[in-house]
Chain A
Amino acid sequence: MKSGDSFVMKDNPNICLIARSHKMSKSRGNVVNPDDVVSEYGADSLRLYEMFMGPLRDSKTWNTSGIEGVHRFLGRTWRLIVGSPLSDGTFKDGTLVTDEDPTLEQLRSLHKCIAKVTEEIEATRFNTGISAMMEFLNVAYKWKKHPRLIIEAFVLLLSPYAPHMAEELWFRLGHSKSLAYEPFPKADPAFLKESTIVLPVQINGKTRGTIQVEETCSEENAFQLASRDGKLSKYLNGKVIKKRIFVPGKILNVILDLQNVKATVR
């Protein structure tokens, strides 16, 4: 049991233990055999876990319960695409994917994941590539529909790490040839841009604050947001607007009718 910085006995927390790990050797009896891991969790789980344990170059401690984490990830991936098992434990043929066009949000999640996985493998940071796929999966579970285009790309992303399951999914997606020579998905920079931008707002030519807007936001929307903004509202509320200058994605400048302002004060 962990208590503060040290480990203690569960029955008596006053007794400190020493925790240490050793190189695997026959004489210590702490050798974990890959065969056993493969038969219990599958080859893909072993591959994934070896990579997920930490940076390739670091020394790491084996933890059999840790492999359950990546095993679960593979199971969730499978069920997302194939569906829940039937009552007899088998799965229906084919997949749950739909043939409609993906939404912008789905494309953004996918391309973020493509960019990250590619970059991380090329830099031999295999562990963070897995994290990116796990993030994607969490987001994908929130979607109601899973377009083929998105799911097929994700299966290809997964294939270098977990080739066995990826091949199986690839066939269920209706392909008849191995995915080993399919082109690896490429990240489209258009979908990598942050979806919102920070828009500066000027009052009579002086920058008084900023608002967070969708990149494609209209002039009216930007103005409404500025009017509700805590900092900007005091400049705008109850004022007569002479003119609005709006450059989409760049700036909003509001020119007030100063004459009328004075009149109001009087």
Chain B
Amino acid sequence: MDFCSGAGLHVGHPLGYTATDILARLKRMQGYNVLHPMGWDAFGLPAEQYAIETGTHPKITTLKNIDRFRSDSILFILSLDVYKSVNEETWLILKSLGFSYDWDREISTTEPEYYRWTQWIFLQLLKRGLAYQAEVPVNWCPALGTVLANEEVVDGVSERGGHPVIRKPMKQWMLKITAYADRLLEDLDDLDWPESIKEMQRNWIGRSKVLRWIFLFLAVMDRKETQRLQSILQTMTPSLEQRQVEEYTDLASRKSDLERTELQKEKTGVFSGCYAKNPVSGEAIPIWVADYVLGSYGTGAIMAVPAHDTRDLEFASKFDIPIRWVVMPDDKNLSGKAYSGEGTVVNSSNSTVGLDINGLSSKEAASKVIEWADKTANGKKKVNYKLRDWLFARQRYWGEPIPVVFLDDNGEIVPLLETELPLTLPELDDFSPTGTGEPPLSKSVSWVKTKDPLSGKPARRETSTMPQWAGSCWYYLRFMDPKNSKEVVAKTKEMYWSPVDVYVGGAEHAVLHLLYSRFWHKVLYDIGIVSTKEPFKCVINQGIILGEVQYIAYKDSDGNFISADSGTSVEYNIIKN
């Protein structure tokens, strides 16, 4: 599948296509039925930005574009790559390189006959409570007038144009990918995928067993769940600290999650002026506000353990917070670095509450503490995930319309009838973002104003569109049965071809496209549309092709060439060899 978005095809792009083509040709000659198709996936921000910058309608810049492949004991070989290109040009190059695609199966995710089924899948998600609206903090870019994905934010500014981006709560469509967290994690084990991608998905899902403590605010005399930390802080924080905390949180809201959690970044934070009581030792623990802990992780409040966590140690060292060792490695060798391994517990007893875990192994100690916390109601066992629900709406024009309406009188969400699909994207002369956060589609008044199909009550259409990942979540299924007007894919065809045997694609979508499509596939499996638990049996990441080697020579201030390793500051010029 080709992601077409703009100009600039280079020789790195045909790499994956050539590989799948060679495999397809070999398998065909060995007597297999090979499905090796090509398709175009052009919805989304990159294509739209290109269109805005060049003043061309995205429909024209994305006229032609698709790729993929498959084989009699059946082989389905799929190639996915990301390159930016005007489609006509791309198409000609693909033809000139002799890729043996089945052009009868050419599909485009931006065609209504295709996105009709993308919308249909959305309705199935909605029906099962897997799509919902919620108020969540998003990357809002006031200058571009839109929400941006985390990947589109670099160092607190938008990747395109370098405009500031802030975290702002907005009502958004969400897909409940978290409901599939366990299956997405466990089914990874049997896949023939690069270990690095599997590991990235595991880390992204980030399942861990934790103990959720209930802390007592020392200044507050009754028990509070840490969940309500922020509101308590606001009421409790002394006025001087309150200003600092506000300034700090404002600054932190301009950073993306990715930046905040980057390991090598220097830790920042402010003291809130409050203390909490350690439920076991009874000691007062200072409460700090720091952006390296994400609000979405657990309750958003963590018990920092500087001696045994690298990031906590960096933080504590920077702000002179006492460090206490509670786990001693078996070789008794504390290097001064945070020690996160197993060992023997020290410095951990409190006769008042009757808990002594000194001398136990860290594993035994953990279960004893959990038992104690459970019994005394000081805490609860929990399974925690780093995975968040998928933000599924964009305030942009170039995407699949979301097939729901809101009733005028009470705002109730009413899904469109399946027979009304596709809900086509209306033509708009000016499709640039409005700047107010109101999606561009709201400008198409006659399209927005509609009626509830069943009751006939006046209603408004949803004006946000789906993100660029939606159409590519399931396109491999459509290649099996591209012209079916009755269903996503006919059962017999799906049974014949599924799953995709070989999938060649870049590694850049490890936790986006490759996770999202697994999620949709599992939902489709649950409702009986597909017969396999996983969409892609074998994934291969092709490497990057770097540009020609450049040789750089250095000159000193007199203009004489000097050695690159001489260490003085110099101007340089590039010699192409």
- Chain A residues close to B by CB (< 8 Å): 7, 9, 12, 14-24, 26, 28, 30-35, 37-38, 43-44, 46-47, 50-51, 53-64, 118, 121-122, 124, 126, 156, 159-161, 163-164, 179-184
Contact = CB atoms under 8 A, between A and B. Distances in A.
B541 interface: yes
Interface in B81-115: 93, 96-98, 100
Contact of A34 (B13, B26, B100): B13
B19 to A, nearest CB: 5
A124 B8 CA distance: 28
B544 interface: yes
Contact of A163 (B19, B98, B550, B561): B98
Interface stretch (B27-35, B279-287, B414-422, B523-531): B27-35
A59 B100 contact: no
A87 B97 CA distance: 30
Nearest to B566: A16
A46 B26 CA distance: 19
B30 A180 contact: no
A121 B13 CA distance: 20
Contacts of B575: 17
Interface string B532-546: 000000001111111
20 contacts: A7-B551, A9-B561, A20-B552, A21-B546, A24-B10, A31-B547, A32-B547, A35-B93, A46-B14, A47-B21, A50-B18, A50-B545, A54-B543, A62-B548, A63-B548, A124-B502, A160-B25, A163-B98, A164-B98, A183-B29
A47 to B, nearest CB: 5
Contact of A57 (B10, B22, B541, B552): B541
| Interface residues of B, dominant DSSP | mixed
Nearest to B16: A56
Nearest to B562: A15
User: Closest 7 interchain pairs by CB?
Assistant: A30-B547, A184-B29, A160-B25, A21-B546, A59-B543, A16-B563, A160-B22
A179 B26 CA distance: 11
A18 B552 contact: yes
A38 B565 CA distance: 40
Contact of B548 (A33, A55, A61): A61
B496 to A, nearest CB: 20
A48 to B, nearest CB: 9
B31 A183 contact: yes
Name the residue among A32, A50, A60, A63 with the largest chain B CB count within 10 angstroms.
A50
B25 A126 contact: no
A58 B543 contact: yes
B546 A50 contact: no
B21 to A, nearest CB: 7
A161 B23 CA distance: 9
Residue in A19, A30, A47, A58 with the greatest tally of chain B CB atoms within 10 Å: A47
B564 interface: yes
A21 B28 contact: no
Given A22-B547, A56-B540, A160 B14 contact: no
A16 B26 contact: no
Interface in B1-54: 8-15, 18-19, 21-23, 25-26, 28-31
Contact of A50 (B15, B25, B31, B562): B15
B23 A34 contact: no
A14 to B, nearest CB: 7
A160 B21 contact: yes
B15 to A, nearest CB: 5
A64 B100 contact: no
A179 B22 CA distance: 14
B549 interface: yes
A35 B93 CA distance: 7
A7 B30 CA distance: 48
A266 to B, nearest CB: 72
B73 to A, nearest CB: 14
Given A15-B553, A19-B551, A50 B14 contact: yes
Nearest to A31: B10
A182 B29 CA distance: 6
B551 A18 contact: yes
Contacts of A60: 543-546
Contacts of A161: 22
B194 interface: yes
Given A9-B553, A22-B547, A63-B549, A163 B29 contact: no
A21 B551 CA distance: 9
Contacts of B18: 47, 50-51
Contacts of B31: 183
A59 B564 CA distance: 25
A34 B97 contact: yes
**Residue of B23, B31, B97, B552 with highest tally of chain A CB at under 10 A:** B97
Contacts of A121: 22-23, 26
A114 B117 CA distance: 45
Given A17-B551, A20-B552, A21-B550, 12 more contacts: A7-B551, A15-B553, A17-B575, A24-B12, A24-B546, A30-B548, A47-B22, A50-B11, A126-B22, A160-B21, A163-B100, A183-B30
A51 B15 CA distance: 7
Contacts of A63: 548-549
A189 B100 CA distance: 31
Contact of B550 (A22, A122, A160): A22
Interface string B450-462: 0000000000000
Nearest to A64: B548
B97 A46 contact: yes
Contacts of B9: 33-35
Given A17-B575, A21-B548, A160 B26 contact: yes
Contact of A59 (B504, B544, B565): B544
